[in-house]
């Protein structure tokens, strides 16, 4: 296969676009796609302060890398779930890229606060680990924005993540979530940061290729608790469709984005947690309830890596 742009040997075929590209032209293509998504959906405005939710995986490390290459200065935040070597290795990879990008990263260590890992916390509150993890991550990542002055939280959700979640919401007709999939989620001044997803239209395969070509050292291993995650089943079904009908996932999500323009959101009355101010549906948010349950008075705090970096040093590209 030859690169559609330069005619040299191609390194990746993009069947949904009916094309193939060499490494250099693919890098340009993907970064432009991210940049176009940011512009089209007004994800980032001038004077926004950005922080990227990083996990050590290909998507979050790549979006962090891309944003800084595109000239958007962004720091990182990582929630260390306390899952043995997996969490330790993830953090090492994050620190490495933070150093390369000359940006700092805030780290919340679950074991420091709860004196146990995510699996034990989940067992205690009778939730599956993914559910407890999601709840804590959403809270902590918002908290770092509010406390440290970032008004936009960037996540590495990609096209496949969004298509799988949409499929799940459709299958079970979860109306409360159905119309909330978007490249951006509005914030609430002083309570909730704005969330943006610049990889909304980039597939998981494209993101893995980008990370490999760019030399981004990400963690290949899967979170040990995600093995039975429903999202993996949905992704498998969607990839089977994609195999026979290239472009299905992209059309699914693009069609949805057109639909939500006229769709109506089903919303409940939002209140704010009496203890911390986080949006919730009762008098106290789930995180404050969790802290109470474990009799924890130490509130959320972060370690910071790369805080002593020379900010005037030229950004590495």
Binding range to other proteins, per CB under 8 A, among 31-39, 177-185, 239-247, 304-312: 239-247
- Pick from 20, 17, 16: nearest CA to 8: 20
240 forms part of the interface with other proteins (CB under 8 A): yes
Name which of 222 and 283 has its Cβ closer to other proteins: 222
DSSP 265: -
Among 5, 70, 125, 130, binds other proteins (CB under 8 A): 130
173 forms part of the interface with other proteins (CB under 8 A): no
13 forms part of the interface with other proteins (CB under 8 A): yes
Rounded CA gap, 36 and 196, in Å?
14
Alpha helix locations (H) across 70-172? 84-101, 110-114, 118-124, 129-148, 159-171
- Pick from 62, 73, 46: nearest CA to 155: 62
Among 103, 104, 181, 235, binds other proteins (CB under 8 A): 235
Rounded CA gap, 106 and 63, in Å?
17
- Angle of helix 23-40 relative to helix 58-69, nearest 10 degrees, comes to 80
Rounded CA gap, 142 and 201, in Å?
24
Interface with other proteins (CB under 8 A), residue total 35
Taking residues 22 to 61 in sequence order and writing x for each that binds other proteins by CB under 8 A, - otherwise, the string is -x---------------------------------xxx--
Per CB under 8 A, residues contacting other proteins are 1, 10-13, 20, 23, 57-59, 130, 133, 160, 204-205, 207-209, 212-213, 220, 222-223, 225-227, 229, 231-232, 235-236, 239-240, 242-243
């Amino acid at each position: 296969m030859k690169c559609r742009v330069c005619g040299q040997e191609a390194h990746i075929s993009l069947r949904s676009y009916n094309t193939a590209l060499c490494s250099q032209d693919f890098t340009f293509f993907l970064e432009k796609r991210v940049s176009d998504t940011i512009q089209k959906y007004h994800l980032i405005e001038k004077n926004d302060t950005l922080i990227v939710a990083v996990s050590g995986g290909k998507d979050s490390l790549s979006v962090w890398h891309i944003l800084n290459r595109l000239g958007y200065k962004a720091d990182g935040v990582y929630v260390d779930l306390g899952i043995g070597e997996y969490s330790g290795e993830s953090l090492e990879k994050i620190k490495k890229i933070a150093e390369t990008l000359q940006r700092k990263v805030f780290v919340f260590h679950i074991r420091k606060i709860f004196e146990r890992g995510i699996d034990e916390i989940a067992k205690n509150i009778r939730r599956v680990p993914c559910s407890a993890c999601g709840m804590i991550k959403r809270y902590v990542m918002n908290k770092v924005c509010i406390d440290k002055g970032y008004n936009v939280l960037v996540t590495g959700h990609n096209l496949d993540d969004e298509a799988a979640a949409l499929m799940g919401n459709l299958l079970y007709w979860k109306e409360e979530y159905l119309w909330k999939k978007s490249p951006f989620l509005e914030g609430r001044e002083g309570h909730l940061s704005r969330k943006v997803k610049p990889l909304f239209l980039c597939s998981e395969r494209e993101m893995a290729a980008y990370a490999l070509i760019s030399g981004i050292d990400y963690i290949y291993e899967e979170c040990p608790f995600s093995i039975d995650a429903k999202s993996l089943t949905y992704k498998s079904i969607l990839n089977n469709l994609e195999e026979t009908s290239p472009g299905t996932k992209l059309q699914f999500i693009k069609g949805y984005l057109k639909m939500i323009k006229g769709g109506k959101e089903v919303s409940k009355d939002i209140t704010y947690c009496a203890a911390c101010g986080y949006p919730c549906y009762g008098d106290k948010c789930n995180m404050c309830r969790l802290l109470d349950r474990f009799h924890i008075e130490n509130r959320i705090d972060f370690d910071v890596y790369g805080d002593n970096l020379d900010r005037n040093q030229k950004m590495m590209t």
